[in-house]
Amino acid sequence: MHIMEGYLDPWWCLLWTMLSAPFLVYGFYTIRRLIREDPAQKTLLALSGAFIFVLSSFKLPSVTGSSSHPTGTGFSTMFFGVGVTAVMSFIVLIFQALLLAHGGLTTMGANVFSMGVAGPFVAYMAFKTMSKAGVRTPITVFTTVFLAGIITYMTTAVQLALAYGTFSESLVSFLSVFAVTQIPLGIVEGILFTIFVDYLQRARPDLTDRVFPRRVTDES
């Protein structure tokens, strides 16, 4: 759910940039530490970035000044948390703004916050809660990925509602329109990543055991 160039007042652009900045700083630090401590993490980092770039590039027209698409951030959220996901989203959003006219440079802070911070933050909290509670891996993966996308769209709706019209009325309107495309996309994305993580657990358990320790209930 990218907000397009020129659709936010400069003050809103500045505010969302300031809110996103600490997560980006922390994310760059975390990536550097991960690579230094375990170079093998480069594989998952590259895979996470590729998912975000490819899936978020499938743009569907939505509310004026915005668009709907999968986010691809759920995978990175589960394996690396919010900071790294914010950095991955930031890099992808720059490429999309410059090469695909998707999103924009002035709205970069708002798009990073919704796609790389708010959605992943709620999804990561849910992921950690379900992991500690021993919820089965397929349910955990689907829920995490679905929340990463759905909270992103809700945050974008809030951002647009704050900028246009009466907040409550605008929010209801934006949420209603986004829901038509974003909920089905979230379900499909959740199923896709559930299947992929299951495959990765079987094919490359060395990459997944840190996040998804193998349990008898997962293999039965």
- Going from the C-alpha of 35 to that of each of 56, 64, 197, the distances in angstroms are 25, 41, 22
pLDDT in tens, the chain (220 residues): 677 777 788 999 999 999 999 999 999 999 999 999 988 889 899 999 999 998 888 766 555 545 567 899 999 999 999 999 999 999 999 998 888 777 789 999 999 999 999 999 999 999 999 999 999 999 999 999 999 999 998 998 899 899 887 898 889 888 887 777 788 889 999 999 999 999 999 998 888 888 988 764 444 4
Please give the CATH number for the structural domain made up of 10-215. Answer: 1.10.1760.20
> For the chain, what are the domain ranges?
10-215
Backbone φ, ψ for residue 134 (5° rounding):
75, 25
> Mind spelling out the 3-state secondary structure of the chain?
CCECCCCCCHHHHHHHHHHHHHHHHHHHHHHHHHHHHCCCHHHHHHHHHHHHHHHHCCCEECCCCEEECCCCHHHHHHHHCHHHHHHHHHHHHHHHHHHCCCCCCCCHHHHHHHHHHHHHHHHHHHHHHHHHCCCCHHHHHHHHHHHHHHHHHHHHHHHHHHHCCCHHHHHHHHHHHHHHHHHHHHHHHHHHHHHHHHHHHHHCHHHHCCCCCCCHHHHC
- Global pTM reads 0.89
